Structure 1
């Protein structure tokens, strides 16, 4: 997870740094799924999101209002032509501070733990979806997908350096984003996990 308080670049302006209040507003499985759907799919109505996520429109409407109250989504009136309310994501992503896991308020610690577990669940679901639908994609995309892992022996300082270098590399590809008219360009998800493991 990105951590606030580090060197900022233009991309950081599109990220929201979670604090105790906003974390409590976001740390709910459906709210996180709704926010991700708006970030990746663009503006939508509660009914459209309900159909996409397999939820009731009453539930999506309620949780969208909660996300709005905490500054994660806002109205997208430029998309509305009828009475139904359209929503859009305010930020491109969030930055999580590990200090939230040690907050003096147990509710904040619980929200931080739920948030991180839900992120892990979403990563797992995305991989499972790819494995289940990979045959629907062109062969070029089958060859261009990847699931790899490595085992290294590092100090915390070297692990932190590795994380930053990986993030910088991924961000460098934003400047190479193809035009909207590029026929074979697709949205791509990149997961990064650096975690220590015990050997005994």
Structure 2
């Protein structure tokens, strides 16, 4: 029996991946997911792009179902956009798809995600002095090196994800002054001795 999929998490397939795998589109989607609804002009200012570029790429994201109109705000001349899903799910089979364009899009998508995660951490390190002491005592940047089989590695990643999910709804009201959006990155991958590739 398979577990039901979370309707708030979009499962990427070959077609939707090709519609998303563009640096600006990924930035726009993240801006809407984590910053809330916005107009193309607001997003252009935030990302340092032209409103023409953000408008075009927002329409492309909408065509692939990643963003949608925000009816609560779209009453004036400007069109307001919001993210259509809370998260995305990437299927590793996209990396071995028969179509080289899909494989290229999958590789580009993963590298953009990795770049964004590195930027997130660097931004925190650069700005942490402006946060209250409580937050400076709560953050974490750790690494562990374990010797595991692929099966144990997969089990560990699944358990970490399950634990994180138990915290999703535990926070106080979003308007509570003590809360903030907290970003968690999990990276689990094999290392080889002295940078050698396995034969």
TM-score by length of 1: 0.94
CA drift of 1:6 comes to 6.2
1:115 aligns with 2:109: yes
Counterpart pick for 2:74 among 77, 80, 87: 80
> Aligned residue for 1:39?
33
Q: Which segment drifts farther, 44-53 or 79-88?
A: 79-88
Alignment of 1:1-200 (within 5 A): 7-8=3-4, 12-200=6-194
Instruction: Considering fraction of residues, name the structure with more helix.
Output: 1
Give ranges in structure 2 of 5+ residues lacking alignment: 195-199
SS at 2:175 equivalent: coil
Distance 2:187 2:115 in 1: 13
SS at 1:63 equivalent: helix
Aligned residues: 194
CA drift of 1:199 comes to 1.1
Q: Give the alignment's Cα RMSD to 1 decimal.
A: 1.3
CA drift of 1:74 comes to 0.6
Give ranges in structure 1 of 5+ residues lacking alignment: none
SS at 1:108 equivalent: helix
Distance 1:175 1:66 in 2: 32
The answer as to whether partners of 1:46 and 1:60 remain within 8 angstroms in 2 is yes
The answer as to whether partners of 1:46 and 1:86 remain within 8 angstroms in 2 is yes
The answer as to whether partners of 1:77 and 1:85 remain within 8 angstroms in 2 is no
Which portions of structure 1, spanning 4 or more consecutive aligned residues, are displaced by more than 2 angstroms? 5-9
